[in-house]
Chains A and B, each alone.
Chain A
């Protein structure tokens, strides 16, 4: 079974530039998550989608970050304009569903390492 795919794996940009990351979840997974992992810290949830709707974006800096999952499958996370403090690994994860009773395991992609100079 193919895992969660992310691209690019690495990206270096200068501050105030824009950048976009792409994620393709495991086939059939309704829920998709974007996390930000700053060096030396655990991942922090930025946004959660259930199909093509946003479930939780409470920690997404909406003045510069945006994300979409238009067809309920793959997703794009964008930063515009980037700041130095946005340097981090951006992880995408997917799960069968976040609704209903039971917990469904989240499967993580390899991440995109962003460096902002």
Chain B
């Protein structure tokens, strides 16, 4: 079984300041972990993924996430927020092997203030 908890339903940041979105997971096996972004009226887009290599994962648009097995966490960060980062972000846990079944967190809505 697997589950994922996003600790903040809403995050508000000022443009140019750091962004931190928190995610904790639970999995009965060694998981794959992902962050997806969803802009209004757009499809979900993959930001980054962790499968089994480096624990610090770099994604698109300056985002990165660190896999911490001891803390069962996979927090997403960006050093400097841009107005275009305003969107909903989903932390997702899935299997490393076949099956591709993904379990989504509840989402964190990011507001960027000018």
Contacts and interface: CB of A to CB of B under 8 A. Distances in A.
Most chain A CB inside 10 Å of its own CB: which residue of B36, B46, B98: B98
Q: How big is chain B's contact interface, by range?
A: 20 to 34
Contact of A101 (B32, B97, B107): B97
Given A41-B107, A42-B90, A105 B46 contact: yes
B44 interface: yes
Contacts of B36: 108
Interface of B: 9, 32, 36, 41-46, 49, 51, 90, 92, 94-102, 104-107
Interface of A: 3-4, 31, 40-45, 48, 56, 91, 93, 95, 98-101, 103-111
User: SS class of chain B's interface: helix, strand, loop or mixed?
Assistant: loop
A42 B4 CA distance: 10
A31 B44 contact: no
B102 A41 contact: no
A96 to B, nearest CB: 10
Contacts, number: 58
B105 A104 contact: no
Given A42-B90, A103-B95, A103-B96, A109 B43 contact: yes
Contacts of B98: 98-101
A48 B101 contact: yes
B43 A91 contact: yes
A93 B94 CA distance: 15
